[in-house]
Amino acid sequence: MEEFLNDLIPNVMARQDIFFKSIRETCLMVGWSGSISFLLGILFGVTITVTRPDGICSNKIVYHILDKLVNFFRSVPFIILLACLVPLTRLIMGTSIGVKGAIVPLVFGCTPFFTRQMESALAEVDPGLIEAAQSMGLGNLDIIWRVYLRESIAGIVRGTTITLISLIGLTAMAGAIGAGGLGNFAIMYGHQRNMLDVTYTTVLVLVVMVSLIQVTGNYIAKRNTH
Amino acid sequence: MEAMIKFQHVRKEFNSDGKKFLAVDDVSFDIQKGEVFGIIGFSGAGKSTLVRCINLLERPTSGQVFINGTEITELPMSKLRQKRKKIGMIFQQFNLFASRTVWDNIAFPLKGSGLSKEEKAEKVEKLLKLVELDSKADAYPSNLSGGQKQRVAIARALASDPEILLSDESTSALDPKTTKSILNLLKKVNRELGITIVVITHEMQVIKEICDRVAVMKDGKVVEIGEVFDIFANPQEQITREFVEHTSNLSKIYELVEEKSDIVRVDQEQIVWRLRYLERNVSEALVSQLSRKFDLDINIIFGNIELIGENPIGGLVAIVRGTPEQIDGAIDYLHEKNVGVEVILDGRVSE
């Protein structure tokens, strides 16, 4: 087996330690920035939903500020965002390279996208349910928790799946400018040293990762659809 | 009797795109404790808005709403939420939580009620029995029929022991048979639990079936209000008449006359009349009496006699043959008996 692999992907086998470290780094970046973006995205998505003009606690100022902020960050290409955020990243994390340096820009790149995903998941909650809950005397926090979030679990899971997959794409880009991970691995060896087997192996690993996320997401979403 | 719900000069104005729209226009009336009160009107008449002023899902622009003597438009939010728990509401689209089972839907309002787990279970079970859905406790709403969904919604609305149940077109999405069973359930809820019910509908059938009193709404105003029997027997406003006509087949005669149908072809000794029973006297053998007393041949084309509450109401359309004197005599006799007579076609004058 090992011989076979040595023949097939010699450059990867020769750099197994870097290869596995890259996979770990990618997982770390996705895990950390994904978790932070998930929480922030839910917070912002819910806030935008309830403060919109016909929402349960409409607030023009909060709604417009958040809405414009999300639009702003979504319109900046990620590669440029990476460069813009270097000073802020240094300030927060103490470094702008490596996995630690990648998390801040990844969160900035991912949260607005996930916020929109959350918004559309929450928008699918029938306004009639909100009205019914209000008629039962529920307060706004209860409505958010027991109706909005509870009723849109499937939608939130689908949005999370899409976001995680696009986040893997972002980590590869971050990798290209010094964050490490599979993106860095592929660019450094596969592209710059023209080791095609490295590129192909990276692609294969990414495809497997994306498929796993997709399958898991679909499964959870399905189990929560009644 | 004390008023359960009291509207006093309630107005509700909506602003959309700078245009003002008056949905409810100076409405004042009382709904008594323990009655089933109907509000009927075409869509856009303001009935949904008015009923939402009872639990303040819509806040009146001006005017007051009293629930059991408390002016609710001035209550702080926390007190209002307490009050809302005592006002159940059901909807045309059921509004069940799709991600929760039937059981969890019914238990939904019980969270934070201070009941123990066992007490909650007991309550849910009792409600499931009341709406005859014991076997569906673990089903999800998507697996229920429309009628079953509305039953779950009723059980859920009753979970917090309300004094009032608001029904917003709750049978409008259901077929006639299911509608009947839901209306029967509402009747049962009213009688057995003593809950005051406010029913909004655009179907006179629903009013006739369960309501004690009814208010007719048009363009945001209540144009007619009274006991259902009186409204049916003697509608005053044009719109009320339209609703009443709609529930019987008697008005079909006008179409037949229009079409000059063979059924209503009359000769010189015949007239077509429509009798309306205005008082609670339908039990008299009116037709045979007329026939005997005035020597008339009476051929009934349409008949529609129904029970409202305990009282029969309705009318007949018939072709009558007799001499002019006999017919006039019969009409006078009917007037005496307080039966409305409308001569639709008179062979004695036509042609």
B83 to chain A, any CB pair closer than 8 A? The answer is yes
pTM: 0.85
B165 and B132 within one domain:
yes
In this structure, are residues A198 and A12 in contact, taking their beta carbons and an 8 Å threshold? yes
Say how far apart CA B228 and CA B235 lie, in whole Å. Answer: 10
Contact between chains at B87 and A135 (C-beta distance less than 8 A): yes
Q: Is residue B246 part of a domain?
A: no
For testing the chain B interface, which of A58, A124, A131, A136 should be mutated: the one with the most B CBs within 10 Å? Answer: A136
∠ CA B272-B248-B296, nearest 5°, is 25
Q: How far is A161 from chain B (nearest CA, A)?
A: 20
Residues of A in contact with B85 (CB under 8 A): 136-137
Count contacts between A and B (CB, < 8 Å).
55
B121 and B18 within one domain:
yes
Question: Which CATH number covers residue B335?
Answer: 3.30.70.260
B288 and B169 within one domain:
no
B181 and B100 within one domain:
yes
In this structure, are residues B270 and B347 in contact, taking their beta carbons and an 8 Å threshold? yes
| Residue that finishes a domain, picked among B206, B238, B270 | B238
Q: Is residue B165 part of a domain?
A: yes
The range of the structural domain enclosing residue A65 comes to 2-223
B233 and B262 within one domain:
no
For residue B351, the model assigns a pLDDT of 45
B302 and B188 within one domain:
no
B183 and B264 within one domain:
no
B285 and B196 within one domain:
no
| Residue that finishes a domain, picked among B180, B214, B238 | B238
Please classify residue B120 by burial: count the beta carbons closer than 10 Å to its beta carbon, then call 0-12 exposed, 13-18 middle and 19+ buried.
middle
Residues of B in contact with A220 (CB under 8 A): none
Question: Which CATH number covers residue B8?
Answer: 3.40.50.300
Question: Residue B37: in which H helix or E strand, if any?
Answer: strand B36-40
Residues 6+ apart with CB under 8 A from B247: B204, B205, B208
Side-chain-side CA neighbours of B209 within 13 Å: the count stands at: 20
pLDDT category, A219, cuts 50, 70, 90?
very high
In this structure, are residues A166 and A112 in contact, taking their beta carbons and an 8 Å threshold? no
Q: Is residue B245 part of a domain?
A: no
**Beta-carbon count within 10 A of B164 CB:** 23
A126 to chain B, any CB pair closer than 8 A? The answer is yes
Question: Residue B97: in which H helix or E strand, if any?
Answer: none
Domain count, chain B: 2
Contact between chains at B93 and A126 (C-beta distance less than 8 A): yes
- Is 90 exceeded by the pLDDT of residue A208? yes
The range of the structural domain enclosing residue B278 comes to 252-346
For residues B52, B91, A136 and B152, what is the CA-based torsion angle, rounded to 10 degrees? Answer: 160
Q: Is residue B166 part of a domain?
A: yes
Q: Is residue B331 part of a domain?
A: yes
Task: Tell me what ipTM this predicted complex has.
Answer: 0.87
Say how far apart CA A109 and CA A78 lie, in whole Å. Answer: 6
Say how far apart CA A94 and CA A215 lie, in whole Å. Answer: 37
Residue in B87, B95, B99 closest to A132 by CB? B95
For residue A148, the model assigns a pLDDT of 97
pLDDT truncated to tens, each residue of chain B (351 aa)?
579 999 999 999 998 877 889 999 999 999 999 999 999 999 889 999 999 999 999 999 999 999 999 999 999 999 999 999 999 999 999 999 999 999 999 999 999 888 999 999 999 999 999 999 999 999 999 999 999 999 999 999 999 999 999 999 999 999 999 999 999 999 999 999 999 999 999 998 899 899 999 999 999 999 999 999 888 888 888 899 888 877 777 778 888 888 888 887 888 888 898 888 876 655 678 888 889 999 999 998 888 887 776 777 778 899 999 888 899 999 999 888 888 888 888 887 654
Percent of chain A surpassing pLDDT 70 = 100
Q: Is residue B247 part of a domain?
A: no
- Locate all alpha helices (DSSP H) within chain A, ordered by sequence: 2-8, 10-14, 16-51, 60-75, 78-84, 86-93, 98-123, 127-135, 140-142, 150-151, 153-174, 181-185, 196-223
For residue B349, the model assigns a pLDDT of 66
- Is 90 exceeded by the pLDDT of residue A96? no
Instruction: Identify the residue whose tokens are 């059980």.
Output: B155
B193 and B71 within one domain:
yes
Domain count, chain A: 1
Say how far apart CA B162 and CA B170 lie, in whole Å. Answer: 17
Mean pLDDT of chain A: 93
Say how far apart CA A172 and CA A167 lie, in whole Å. Answer: 9
Q: Is residue B351 part of a domain?
A: no
pLDDT tens track for A161-171 = 999 999 999 99
Q: Helix, strand or coil for residue B49?
A: helix
pLDDT tens track for A110-119 = 999 999 999 9
Q: Is residue B150 part of a domain?
A: yes
Instruction: Identify the residue whose tokens are 């009409």.
Output: B331
B55 to chain A, any CB pair closer than 8 A? The answer is yes
Question: Which CATH number covers residue A163?
Answer: 1.10.3720.10
B129 and B172 within one domain:
yes
pLDDT tens track for B300-336 = 888 888 777 677 777 889 999 988 889 999 999 988 8
| Residues belonging to chain A | 226
Q: How far is A71 from chain B (nearest CA, A)?
A: 26
B319 and B220 within one domain:
no
Residues 6+ apart with CB under 8 A from B114: none
B329 and B218 within one domain:
no
| Residue that finishes a domain, picked among B171, B205, B238 | B238
Instruction: Identify the residue whose tokens are 């029913």.
Output: B199
In this structure, are residues A117 and A45 in contact, taking their beta carbons and an 8 Å threshold? yes
What are the backbone angles phi and psi of residue B228, rounded to the nearest 5°? Answer: -55, -40
